[in-house]
Structure 1
């Protein structure tokens, strides 16, 4: 080995040692964080050491996660990885596609056939056990099925629609299936899905509300009757956090406020709280700004309005419904909102006790096929 090779070798070894030692020192001196704004999740704290945890392999597992979560300049390294991935043409990360014009789209994972059959059977059994309740089901296609013009090249998007169609064809014929795909597809060039989040926008929910009105036999409020208010231009949603792709423009969130509003009361039953608004405006200051609608998800929410019709409806839903529910207020005296992921009581007994004669089950397709609680519907 000549002199120059030795100098190169020792220089590289010294730089590597300096980098490792420097990062080790920085990590020791950097305070731990409890929450990552960019990833919208709690970070792993330093695990407590015990012999039992070590023998159970819990300590090492938690410690590895802790080191990963608390690594110095974590957001910088994630951003760098995102840039490299996009440079080499990578289209998907952690179940999120990077589409055209900076659109992020959630990958659809095929469900197990038995799980699909279990959900359909539960819905049909629930119908037979409650024949006097008029039932409507809306399975909302996600952006991957609607925004074909935003998809990366060579990405298939037919699976989600295929499984939605399976549900439609397998339901009891007395259950009203509301197909919103044609309506949403006809609006694909409008801002109906967020770019960085898995939800639809308020405009997308409004178009679905118009389609819903045809099936629930009420006259929808026209768009001109709303004051459309943009409440933020800096929303980075769930797909931004999950996918790790950076350097993407943020979303905006709009609220459709009726020019002639209807008085109502919102009761968060399990939390024993009451409110005079559907919106938690302080959440605009938080990372998950979509929780401006109802302050997120709750087991049971009761909305009472000044509508004198006496019509009651129970809405069994996921978070997609949160942006649509405000449009229903003028059409019902009482709206009961149940999220089966958090609601542990019997839905059948609840309907009987509250003398409800109409039910709307509304889910986005991804949640419907992934959420096991739907299989417990008839219990």
Structure 2
């Protein structure tokens, strides 16, 4: 009898196990698949195309593994449960919490400063881009640039680490732009701090952002106009210039950088009371979803945006730079985790903002997503503002400058982007090659999920 029951329960266990596998498999097939993870602010892996090269290299099956991992049923619920369990692990410090990607860390010292060195993978990024004809978001600030985060006083801060070699390479590139574009084009460079200097305790050993920015500007060609955004932001470091839960700066932070730009460009900035200031509440950003910290969850952000008094018309181009389609300068429908998308409404390869300034002045900004909050301010001083996202453009910058007769250009990048050799690699291609200058047909515009697109139009 005992043997019978053991045999019965063994068969029952096997049957239930197989049944669970079948149910899970069927649910995986039947349930709709998300293309974008709202929580992680990234595009989820789609089922790979079958090619002979991918098959024999092993990449085809690796991509299938990633597809199943990204689309596993109830994935978000499981991640949230794991985050809840993780809260009870390890040693807790009421004041400082550390969140790290283990593989990105070489060294963690034993002192209270906890200095961290990082392993970079820029060469691998560049290799991937050289071997691909598709748009690759290799430098997504949302997650790829987040190696280590501190939650301090209910605020998330990314740990900054600088490289003189990479900063020197970028400075050299900007000088090449100046030479190539000629004396009639004014070139600006604006290095943007990410909040490490302003928000980390003094006891924490870290690379100073100010040191890196000073070094970059010191090795810059004297003909380049450097914008001292750091100094202006430092004056207002106790204000709401950096989000609590997100890796971006706020609209107020971008406004103070705009003041610094005007000083460098010899422009009279608009005082803050000239703007219509609006808010989007209940914003939880990328650093919350990276850490799942309860302290951050209880300290939600709001997205503040400053609407310029000028009338504007916003458009974006196809990759042939022929047709323009309407979009928004401020995507005021943005909500929730996408609230930062209120700035420009998306990350396009090339945008064009036509303003009612009527002074004949034109400027092109090469930016990362920090530039989204900054670019609208330029429309108060320039008749035409062209906005290039360095991650997605596939065209020659000299051709753009010539085609639209642009006489000013500004590089506006945060320090993580400036310390990436991928940035220099990518922007060198804009200058030195025809980089898909005549594609056979326009590719689909890739838009990051921390920003938005919509068919709504803005009045001009």
Query: Is the contact made by 2:282 and 2:336 (CA closer than 8 Å) also made in structure 1?
Result: no
Aligned to 2:427: 374
Q: 1:346-365 alignment to 2 at 5 Å? A: 346-365=396-415
| Alpha-carbon contact 2:328-2:345 (below 8 Å) kept | no
Matched, 1:40 2:93: no
Return the match for 1:202 from 241, 246, 251. 251
Asked if structure 2 preserves the Cα contact closer than 8 Å seen for 1:119 and 1:374, the reply is: no
Secondary structure of residue in 1 paired with 2:149: strand
1:182–1:334 distance in 2 versus 1, CA, 3 Å: same
Shift of 1:52: 8.3
Is the aligned partner of 1:269 residue 2:281?
A: no
> What are the equivalent positions in structure 2 for 1:121-132 lying under 5 Å apart?
121-129=172-180, 130-132=182-184
RMSD: 3.4
Q: Distance in 2 between matches of 1:54 and 1:303?
A: 45
Separation (CA, whole Å) in 1 of partners of 2:51 and 2:411: 47
Partner of 2:152: 100
Instruction: Report the equivalent of 1:10.
Output: none
Matching residue of 1:146 = 198
Could you say if the C-alpha distance between residues 21 and 235 of structure 1 is closer, same or farther in structure 2, counting changes exceeding 3 Å?
A: farther
- Equivalent residue of 2:380, what SS? helix
Distance of 1:188 and 1:175 partners within structure 2: 27
Partner Cα distance (1:66, 1:212) in 2: 44
Structure 1: state its 5+ residue gaps: 1-12
CA contact (8 A) 2:188 2:227 kept: yes
Instruction: Please state if 1:74 is matched with 2:75.
Output: yes
**Corresponding residue for residue 358 of structure 2:** 308
Give runs of aligned pairs for residues 13-92 of structure 1, distance below 5 A.
24=21, 27-30=24-27, 31=31, 33-34=33-34, 35-45=36-46, 56-87=57-88, 88=90, 89=92, 91-92=98-99
Structure 1 residue 186: Cα displacement: 2.5
Relative to the length of structure 1, the TM-score reads: 0.81
Shift of 1:363: 0.9
Q: Tell me by how many angstroms 1:85 deviates.
A: 4.2
User: Per residue, is there more helix in 1 or in 2?
Assistant: 1
- Say whether the 8 Å CA contact 2:350–2:386 is kept in structure 1: yes
| Structure 1 contact 264–276 (Cα < 8 Å) conserved | no
Match of 2:269 among 220, 223, 229: 220
Equivalence for 1:237: 285
Question: How far apart in 2 are the matches of 1:128 and 1:144?
Answer: 34
Cα distance, 1:144 vs structure 2: 1.8
C-alpha separation between the residues in 2 aligned to 1:67 and 1:220? 52
| 1:141 Cα deviation after fit | 0.7
1:39-63 per-position Cα deviation (integer Å, ceiling 9, x unaligned):
2233335668899866543354234
Tell me what 1:158 maps to: 207
Label 1:138 to 1:19 Cα distance change in 2 as closer, same or farther (>3 A). Answer: farther
> In the alignment, does 2:187 pair up with 1:135?
yes
- The within-5 A match list for 1:302-341 is 302-341=352-391
Deviations 1:57-112 (A, max 9, x none): 33542343234323444333323443454442461233141312332223335458
Q: Name the TM-score, length of structure 2 as normaliser.
A: 0.68
